[in-house]
Amino acid sequence: MKQEQPITIKNAIKKAIMNLITMMPMLLGVIGLIGIMQTYITPDMLSKLFGYGVVADIGTGTLMGAISAGNPAVSYIIAEELLTQGVTLYAVTAFILAWVTLGIVQLPAETSVFGLRFTLYKNILTLLSTMLVAYFTVITLQVFSS
Amino acid sequence: MKKGLEFKGLKFLYIVIIAYIVLFFIEQKNALLSLQKALDIFYQLLPIFLFIILIMTLINYFLRPKQIIKHFGKESGAKGVIYALLAGIISHGPMYAWYGMIQELREQGAKDSLLITFFYARAIKIPMLPFMLGIFGLAFTLILSFYILLFAVIQGVVMDWLEE
C-alpha cells in the first residue's frame, strides 16, 4: 500500500496556487459570459415577465435568477425594484435564491469539473429546493404576520 | 513523461472569446461594456482568489484524506452534515470559484451528498445579511435562512438515496 507523503506548507501553497491556475480558463470564461449577460439582461426586462400566479411566478423567478449572475447584492437591489413594481414576494424570493444557488452560465464549467451525473443531480435538486424554499418562506412569513 | 498543467474549461473560454469577437463586430459599444463589466467582476474577485488560496493551502496542509473522510466521508454521519453546513455558510465568493477545491475534496473521498449540502448552504451569505435585513426585514431573513439550511440537509439525504 502506498504511504501518504507528508506535505510541507510550501508544497501546500504551491498546490493551492496551481489548482487555481488550472481553473483560470474556466473562471475567465464564466466572468466573460457574466459580463455579456449583465449588459443584455436589465431589471426592466425581468419585471415584465412576472404576475401570472404563484406557481408561474416562482418558476419565472427561479429561471430569471438562474440565468442572471453576479454579486448577491445586485440581486437584492433588483429584487427591491421588482417588489416596488408589484412583483410578488414568491417570485422575488425565488429570484434572489436562484441567483446564488443556480447558474446556467456556469453549467458547462461545472460539468467539465464534476462530470455530468453529479452536475445533473445537483442542479435538479437545487432547482426543486429553490422553488420549495421560496414557497414555504412566503407561506411561513404570512402565517407569522397574520 | 512529466505531466503538464491540466487547464479546465479551455474550450469554454475559447467560445466566450469568440462570442466577444463576434459581438465586437456586431455591437461594438455593448461588447466594450460587457468587457468592462467582466473586468469589474474580475477585480472584485481578486481578494476572494487570495482567500481561496489561503483556504486551499490550509486544507492541503491540515486535512489529509483520512481526516476528510472522517468529516465528509461515508462514515461521517450527522457530524459531516454539520461540517458541510458550516463550511457552506462561512465560504465566500461565487460558486464557480470553489469548483477546484470541491473537486479536490471529492477526489480525496468526500461524500457527494455532503458537497451538495455544502453548495446549497452557500446561499446564506453572512456578509450580505445586513443588506438583506435592510431590504426584506428580520422575519423574512430568518425564515429564508432556516429553510435554506433545512433544504440543504434534505438535498444531501436525497443525494444519498440516489447514490444507493
Q: Which three cell numbers stand for residue A90?
A: 414568491
Do the domain assignments include residue A63? yes
Asked if A139 is an interface residue toward chain B (Cβ–Cβ < 8 A), one would say no
Asked if residue A3 belongs to a domain, the reply is no
* Contact in structure between A46 and A64 (CB atoms under 8 Å): yes
Whether the predicted pLDDT of B65 surpasses 80: no
Give residue-wise pLDDT tens across range B67-110: 555 577 777 788 889 888 888 887 766 777 788 878 888 888 88
The lowest-confidence range among A76-85, A114-123, A129-138 is A76-85
Q: Residue A78: which of A70, B150, B119 has the closest Cα?
A: A70
Let me know if residue A17 belongs to a domain. yes
- Residue B64: per-residue pLDDT: 59
Alpha-carbon gap: B77 to the closest alpha carbon of chain A (Å) = 20
- Tens digits of residue pLDDT in A83-126: 877 889 999 999 999 999 998 888 888 898 899 999 999 999 99
- Judge whether residue A48 has pLDDT over 90: no
Write out pLDDT tens, residues B119-132. 999 998 876 777 78
pLDDT value at B62 more than 90: no
A1 within a domain of the structure (yes/no): no
Backbone angles phi, psi at B9, to 5 degrees: 80, 25
Q: Is the dihedral of CA B140, B133, B94, A16 positive or negative?
A: negative
* A47, part of any domain: yes
List, in order, residues 6 or more apart from A143 with CB less than 8 Å away.
none
Residue A54 lies inside a defined structural domain of this protein = yes
* CA of residue A97 relative to chain centroid, distance: 7
Return the C-alpha torsion angle B149, B49, A73, A121, nearest 10: -40
Question: So what's the pLDDT on residue A141?
Answer: 95
* Cβ–Cβ below 8 Å for B96 and A109: yes
Which chain A residues contact residue B123 at CB under 8 A? 97, 100-101
Chain A residue with the nearest C-alpha to that of B55? A16
Average pLDDT on B117-144 reads 87
Domain that holds residue A103: 9-145
CB B144 within 8 A of CB A85: no
Would the CB atoms of B135 and A30 count as touching at under 8 Å?
A: no
> How close A9 comes to chain B (CA, Å)?
6
Cα separation, B153 vs B7, whole angstroms: 33
In chain A, how many domains are there?
1
Whether B145 has a pLDDT exceeding 90, the answer reads: yes
Could A114 and B16 be called an inter-chain contact, meaning their C-beta atoms sit closer than 8 Å? no
Selection from B62-76, B101-115, B134-148 with the highest mean pLDDT: B134-148
pLDDT, tens digit, 9 for 90 and up, residues B4-47: 677 877 888 999 999 999 999 999 999 999 999 999 988 887 88
SS3 assignment, position A141: helix
Q: Decide if B100 and A20 are in contact by the 8 Å CB cutoff.
A: yes
